[in-house]
Amino acid sequence: MQCPVDAAQRPTLWRSVDPDEAEDFVRTVHDELPELGPADGRINDVRAEIERTGSYVHTATELTHGARLAWRNASRCIGRLYWRSLVVRDRRDVTDAAGIAAECIEHLRTATNGGRIRPVVTVFPPAAPDGSGPRILGDQLVRYAGYAFAKDVVVGDPSQVEATERARALGWPGGPGTPFDVLPLVVQAAGGRPELFELPADAVLEVPLSHPDLLWFAKLGLWWHAVPAIARMPLEIGGLVYTAAPFSGWYLGTEIGARNLADTDRYDLLPVVAERMGLDTTSDRTMWKDRALVELNVAVLHSFDRAGVTLADHHSESERFLTHLAREEAAGRTCPADWSWIVPPVSGGVTPVFHRYYDDAALTPRFRSASEASTT
């Protein structure tokens, strides 16, 4: 949790934006958007502003293109073919915790779009030169609570036990106690204290999970939310760091079926599904995990399709990623990609992204990793 910065500490923490980094970004924007004209005049203004104040203000065009470039540069994302379609919501004028929470809720409504999920980023004010800035204390805008009752006994999402305890400490009474209780938002305005905000039901679209062939599957009472909205990855553009910039696309089916619901440190549902399927779980050599995993992913794809909610499958998205890669290479640009994230966790070897290596260069603009967020 980020503590407010005491005024006496500001001189030792103060850091001016690197004018060379700002210039590189402005040149990139003008090179890629030739309708803006030559970059020299804008660069002179930016350098003068940094000299005078230690920072500068992005134009609306710079912010929009910078956010889209951050998605284009996200080496762990397989869905970047659509980077130009990113909806950028400029909310740099919203500074209080209640206002930030309200805009996060509107972000979810905009992204959900009645089930036709749209990629969206909402950008709040950047960090000041002293490092202070607004923050959303949670890894996603929508997460399910994890209630720890005893050692190794968790109802809900084990990855969210700490977040659940933080919310309880701030006054959240807890939900009904199901495995899928939606956690409240925790927002911290620059220099302020964390505040709690409930997510209204109409902002969180959820999909009940069923299976096209296994009729008992629906009776497991499984759900998942429709919009994955990353909340704790600061957005870095041209030397400025936007400490609160929630970003969302749509789910890849395997994120839900092969990770969230299947990982042993998450919902760990493979043994449950295997038992209901009547599989022999006495040895890994019976391939029970593999068979249960496939059916779990079949259920996720079937359920989202049945609900009319956008969801990508790993075969189609792998093909689209290689289309994106070819376009970037044709444009003379590096397309960074982390092989361990681009290759899906189900049937990786039968997808085309498996059979090659990638350049995992660190480019800016970018979304910083969660570990870097704690040092912003």
The 10s digit of each residue's pLDDT in 135-175 is: 999 999 999 999 999 778 999 999 999 999 999 999 999 99
Total domains, the chain = 1
Q: What is the mean pLDDT of the chain?
A: 94
* Residue at 37 is within a domain: yes
Q: Is 339 a catalytic residue?
A: no
* Residue at 69 is within a domain: yes
Whether pTM exceeds 0.75: yes
* From 143, 250, 317, 368, the catalytic residue: 250
Quote the CA–CA distance of 265 and 259 in Å, as a whole number: 9
For the segment 314-323, the average pLDDT, to the nearest whole number, is: 97
For the segment 293-298, the average pLDDT, to the nearest whole number, is: 98
For the segment 203-207, the average pLDDT, to the nearest whole number, is: 98
Residue 276: pLDDT band (50, 70, 90) is: very high
Residue 94's domain comprises 7-131
* Residue at 307 is within a domain: no
Residue 373: pLDDT band (50, 70, 90) is: low
* Residue at 85 is within a domain: yes
* From 42, 72, 80, 368, the catalytic residue: 80
Instruction: Tell me which residue of 348, 352, 110, 362 sits closest to 249, measured CA to CA.
Output: 110
Q: Is 224 a catalytic residue?
A: no
Does pLDDT of 244 surpass 60? yes
Q: To the nearest whole percent, how much of the chain has pLDDT over 70? A: 94
Structure tokens at 302: 């079937």
pLDDT value at position 376?
45
Quote the CA–CA distance of 244 and 297 in Å, as a whole number: 32
Quote the CA–CA distance of 121 and 229 in Å, as a whole number: 9
pLDDT value at position 150?
79
pLDDT value at position 12?
34
CATH number at residue 86: 3.90.340.10
For the segment 52-79, the average pLDDT, to the nearest whole number, is: 97
* From 255, 295, 317, 328, the catalytic residue: 255
* Residue at 170 is within a domain: no
pLDDT value at position 152?
82
For the segment 82-108, the average pLDDT, to the nearest whole number, is: 98
Window from 127-136, 157-166, 168-177, 225-234 with minimum mean pLDDT: 127-136
Quote the CA–CA distance of 104 and 88 in Å, as a whole number: 13
Q: Which helix (H) or strand (E) holds 236?
A: strand 235-237
Beta strand pairing call for 195-197 and 146-150: unpaired
* Residue at 215 is within a domain: no
* Residue at 155 is within a domain: no
For the segment 295-312, the average pLDDT, to the nearest whole number, is: 98
Q: Is 77 a catalytic residue?
A: yes
Q: Is 3 a catalytic residue?
A: no
Does pLDDT of 6 surpass 50? no
* Residue at 36 is within a domain: yes
Q: Collect contacts of 263-266 with beta carbons under 8 A, ≥24 apart.
A: 265/158, 265/159, 266/157, 266/158, 266/159
Q: Is the peptide bond before 271 cis (omega within 30 degrees of 0)?
A: no
* From 62, 77, 143, 236, the catalytic residue: 77
Quote the CA–CA distance of 253 and 12 in Å, as a whole number: 47
Does pLDDT of 301 surpass 90? yes
For the segment 7-32, the average pLDDT, to the nearest whole number, is: 77
pLDDT value at position 369?
83
